[in-house]
Structure 1
Amino acid sequence: MKVKKIVSIVVSLLIIAGAGFLLFFNKDKELKKVKVAEVTHSVFYAPQYVAYELGYFKDEGLDVELILTPGADKVTAAVLSGDVHIGFCGSEATIYVYNQGEKDYLVNFAGLTKRDGSFLVSRVKIDNFTFDKVKGKDIIGGRKGGMPEMTLEWALKENGIDPSKDVNIDTSIAFASMAGAFIGGTGDFVTLFEPNALEIEQQGYGYVVASIGEKGGVVPYTSYNARKSYIEENPEIIEKFVNAIQKGIDYVYNHTDEEVAKTILNQFPDTSLNDLIKIVNRYRSIDSWFDTTYIAEENFNHIQTIMENANQLDKRAPYSKLVDNNFSKTTNE
């Protein structure tokens, strides 16, 4: 009896000790909350949604919350105020912040998209489209000083069109309202990201005639940024975040359009799988994504050239201060 009692006590103690260990272990494994302000919700950011849906962030110990924050200026405001930890928007926004004299400025620590992701949508069908077809027309281009509008200007000039004389670019309509304004009858053309461009086509309101990104060249079009102090104080979080994004990029590069579409389908409940496959293919066909998160100096400088071309930049910002590649794999193309 005494032996049985002793065994019972020992077993009980082992169970208690094991439970205590598990509690300690689980506490150690608690996910770190990271809030991310994304400038728009588009299939253009497929690698990010792959990382989210396949649990790559959680594998790295991060509980990532994606918060839709339309407009790069709104994204940077959210990051600077501390409402979010990480911003995801055009890197031009970080240049504006730096040049305004912000001491705890925003640093780009990972790139995702390598060109503009918008498509030029025409109200009427145009076979064999060339950019001379926009002369004398009205184009809804987005906010003045925003990357979509500036890349549009660059693309027009690259094709012999003077944005200030040959066309009328409407910059009065907010980014999130551009598709609705076009459906409502405003403009002859509009630049739209996916899935909005395909939806406009399917509803019979317009026709995709060109990719703005193909004409704009390689730039860190959409990148991840955070306050300089946050990166310095939380390098392990930034490293884990970048690791997850890189896994998402690798997945997209190594899987079919259908596989990618199925993986991110939950992110786009109003888009059918077949449509999502088409959109992934459309973005893949224009070579939308970097193969690593590394931001090259040449590409960062090109974005500043585009800004100067649009008369939105008086002084260039230093690459050495606004880009931190310490968390990225080697270089990309």
Structure 2
Amino acid sequence: MGVFTCRRARPRGVRGWITPLFATCVALTQAIATPHAHAQDPTRLTIMVSGTAKMIYLPATLAQRLGYFRDEGLEVELLSQPAGVDAESELLTGFAQGVVGFYDHTIDLQAKGKEVRAIVVFSQVPGEAELVSTRLPATVGTMRDLRGHTLGVTGLGSSTSFLTRYLMAQQGLSAADYTMLPVGAEHSFAKALRSGRIDAGMTTDPIASRLVRNGEARVLLDLRTLESTRAALGGPYPAACLYLQSEWLEAHPELATKLAHAFVRTLRYMHAHDAEDIAAHMPPEFRRDHPELYVKALAAALPTFSADGRMPDDGPPTVLRVLAASNANARSKLLDPHIDLSRTYTNKFVDQVRERR
């Protein structure tokens, strides 16, 4: 079945000099050892997932649990990072061969002179919801009403921060009108909301549905359906995907084809089975104390997942527009002709899978 590993993000705070020194030594050891190991056996791959428990990234774990990587002759290790910005760092250092994260990072990285490319798109919506604590009065009913409040995101430079900036800017608010606080995802996000560190924030299922069900939060803005995503962002927003460094992709097209085939098989499986069957393949800790709520949230999410892994034609321009509007400092680099969207994704590998069918 392969290897399933959930690795925590590296600590950001400084707790004396021993902890960061130890973390640095471990990171250097991994960076040195991993390329050597992969050089010995190129079919052993490491993929960073921007939160393995997040429902939007479910195809990664499902592909492994179904044995689809193994069927392709690959040994894939999935490692979890709560924020996409941390996962992309592991890719750029060469520690990982791929990232399951948001497509918007491919555009953001190109603006910074880095070339990565999405080869399988999982969905056309972010799968995120802006939640507001029920401690706040019911009069807080729009993003504009969050002026002066502290908003939680997974990390600074993460997709949730891009979307938050854009949605607030659409309401005529600048970054000075609110505080954006990185609080991670899943349980760390819930803890921050419960403790009052944040008043609202953007997160995914299953934690979003759990907080709403518990009466701890209500949905202020929903980006979990295509209709609501089009209304809020002006078009489809391809989000969860598999992306790879372009240089690695060009050097290992056969491995990329195998990965694409495993993921497209997974997406087809998801469209051919119900939520209860799919949930049964997930690790028990993903469902935790409310398995029926997990199944319900998954059933609602299933229609948003792609059946073929292709990038929609109108998706990349929407993402570019959102990024340019959300980041004033990088706007000039994100606007044409500086960004070549054709270099941020390719349908070549998923099309090959369709031809093999």
Answer yes or no: same fold by TM over 0.5.
yes
Report how far residue 109 of structure 1 moved: 1.5
Q: CA deviation at 1:242?
A: 0.7
2:311 maps to which residue? 295
SS class of match (1:329)? helix
Quickly say closer, same or farther: Cα 1:326–1:128, change in 2 above 3 A.
farther
Q: Which moved more, 1:75-84 or 1:208-217?
A: 208-217
Q: Is the 8 A contact 1:249 1:291 kept in 2?
A: yes
Tell me which amino acid in the other structure corresponds to 1:134.
D
SS at match of 1:82: coil
Instruction: Give 2:5's aligned residue.
Output: none
Residue 10 of structure 2 corresponds to: none
Partner of 2:179: 170
- The TM-score, its normalising length taken from structure 2, stands at 0.73
1:121 partnered with 2:137: no
**Equivalence map 1:63-78=2 (5 Å):** 63-78=75-90
- Asked if 1:321 corresponds to 2:343, the answer is yes
Residues 52-106 of structure 1, C-alpha deviations (whole Å, 9 max, x = no match)? 211111111111111012222221211111111111222222223222224xx21
Letter of the structure 2 residue corresponding to residue 37 of structure 1: M
Q: Does 1:32 align with 2:32?
A: no
2:334 is aligned with 1:304: no
Larger radius of gyration: 1
CA distance in 2, matches of 1:314, 1:212: 27
**Aligned residues of 1:91 and 1:223 also touching (Cα < 8 A):** yes
Alignment match of 2:145 (pick from 134, 141, 146): 134
Q: Of 75, 81, 88, which residue of structure 1 is paired with 2:93? A: 81
After superposition, the CA RMSD in angstroms is: 3.0
**Which SS does the other structure have where 1:268 is aligned?**
helix
Structure-2 change in CA distance of 1:226 and 1:31 (3 Å):
closer
Query: In structure 2, what is the Cα distance between the partners aligned to 1:141 and 1:297?
Result: 31
Question: Per-residue deviation at 1:233?
Answer: 1.6
Compute the displacement of 1:144 (Å).
4.4
Q: Bigger CA drift: 177-186 or 234-243?
A: 177-186
How far has the Cα of 1:247 moved from its partner?
Answer: 1.1
* 3-state secondary structure, aligned to 1:140: strand
Between the aligned partners of 2:156 and 2:173, the Cα distance in structure 1 is: 12
Q: What amino acid maps onto 2:63 in structure 1?
A: A
Q: Does 1:148 align with 2:160?
A: yes
Instruction: Tell me what 1:249 maps to.
Output: 267
Moved more, 187-196 or 139-148: 139-148
Asked if residue 236 in structure 1 is aligned to residue 254 in structure 2, the reply is yes
1:109 to 108, 119, 131: 119
Match of 1:190 among 189, 193, 201: 201
Q: Any idea what SS the aligned residue of 1:314 has? A: helix
Matched AA of 1:39: S
Whole-Å Cα distance in 1 between the matches of residues 143 and 277 of structure 2?
Answer: 38
Question: Structure 1 pair 63/266, CA: closer, same or farther in 2 (3 Å)?
Answer: farther
Post-superposition offset of 1:281:
2.2
Structure 1 CA distance for aligned equivalents of residues 139 and 308 of structure 2: 35
The AA in structure 2 aligned to 1:174 is V
Within the candidate set 193, 211, 219, 1:208 is matched to 219
Partner secondary structure for residue 277 of structure 2: helix
Query: Which range moved further: 294-303 or 143-152?
Result: 143-152
In the alignment, which residue of structure 2 is the partner of 1:94? 106
- In structure 1, runs of 5+ residues without a counterpart are 1-29
Match of 2:297 among 279, 282, 290: 279
Task: Show CA shifts across 1:94-142 (max 9, x none).
Answer: 223222224xx21222211211111122222888995278354625242
Change (3 A) 1:172 1:155: closer
> 1:295 touches 1:331 (CA, 8 Å); kept in 2?
no
- The Cα shift of 1:246 comes to 0.7
Describe the SS at the equivalent of 2:118.
strand
Secondary structure of the residue aligned to 1:293 is coil
TM-score (norm 1): 0.78
Percent of aligned pairs with the same residue?
A: 18
Cα distance in structure 2, aligned partners of 1:70 and 1:227 = 20
